[in-house]
Structure 1
Amino acid sequence: MTRAEWESLCDGCGRCCLHKLRDEETDRLAYTNVACRLLDGETCQCKDYADRKTRVPDCVKLTPKRVAAIDWLPPTCAYRLLAEGRDLPWWHPLVSGRAETVHEAGVSVRGRTIAEREAGDFEDHVVAWPGRWPPGAKDRRRAG
């Protein structure tokens, strides 16, 4: 797979750009609705993708090897789905042919985030939805 093909797997949902918390004692993962400072909450795109590692040093560059070892990718993530041997869902832009279907299916973070600098304690912003499939994302009849 070329780099361009690999990059095209990203559906543009923005879920991986939400801060996650991990309990040091239990290793349990908690998703928050706090967006990385580079995430545009409306477009669900990185504001500086090319230079993100410089601006946000802990930003993770996904590779096939890393995807296999990461436990925090959302269940809807194409990288995760393919690593698990599953097909891309109907709303994925490579399947639907339209970038907007990720938003229409309720998969993206559009309108559901709080800015990192406005959040205060991230623990106050723990949410479950980034770790779940939205009901509309499961309905294949909505494809088209």
Structure 2
Amino acid sequence: MAPADNSAIPAAMSQAAQPFWKTKTLEELSLEEWESLCDGCGRCCLVKLEEEETADTYFTDVACFMLESHSCQCSDYEHRKKHVPDCVTLTPELVRTIDWLPPTCAYRLVAEGEDLYWWHPLVSGDPSTVHSAEVSVRGKVKADDTQIADGEWEDHVVRWPMRVPKKARRK
């Protein structure tokens, strides 16, 4: 028997075997696909400071008061804008223009044509791998934004949200 000749397989069939984040642009995603890209790390819920002179953005280890620090989920995601009017709602355009999305962020990765990490729930099939890979903010948040006084914010600047933890690196 001769080996199968895969050159005759239509492109549409080979694309169908690929996960949606490899075959669609951010603009082509359904709402369900868009929401599923969020890995639940909570990094985007950390308070960020912007230096006025340079417009550089700095992460803190302070989370929005709406973030449940153990689950790394918003306590009222659907109505978060009522409680936090300046909460950023990601869009494909924003994903491509803001500079503070962590290097592990699936929205950023898809926009850049990169694959998701092994620990992403869409790849692993397990929402807890984002925590076991030490990507999430679980155990790293020192306070919520209602607990920090003026003048104390700079004491909470951290670099880890813009880094890929050793446990999380590509295998």
TM norm structure 1: 0.94
Partner residue in 2 for 1:60: 88
Cα distance in 2 between the residues matched to 1:69 and 1:56: 22
Alignment gaps of 5+ in structure 1: none
Consecutive unaligned residues in structure 2, runs of 5 or more: 1-28
Q: How many residues align?
A: 140
Which residue is equivalent to 2:129?
101
1:13 aligned partner: 41
68-77 vs 7-16, greater mean Cα deviation: 68-77
Counterparts in 2 of 1:85-96, with a 5 A limit?
A: 85-96=113-124
Q: Which has the higher contact order (CA 8 A, sep 6+)?
A: 1
- 2:147 corresponding residue in structure 1: 118
Query: What amino acid does structure 2 have at the position aligned with 1:115?
Result: D
Q: Secondary structure at the match of 2:110?
A: helix
TM-fit CA distance, 1:119: 2.8
Coordinate RMSD, CA, aligned:
0.9
1:37 corresponds in structure 2 to 65
Question: Is contact 1:119-1:125 (8 Å) kept?
Answer: no
Tell me if the contact between 1:35 and 1:116 (Cα under 8 Å) persists in the aligned partners: yes
- Mapped to 1, the partners of 2:89 and 2:170 lie a distance apart of 31
TM-score (norm 2): 0.79
Q: What is the one-letter code of the residue matched to 1:116? A: D
Q: 1:127 aligns with which of 141, 148, 158?
A: 158
Percent of aligned pairs with the same amino acid: 60
Aligned partner of 1:52: which letter?
R
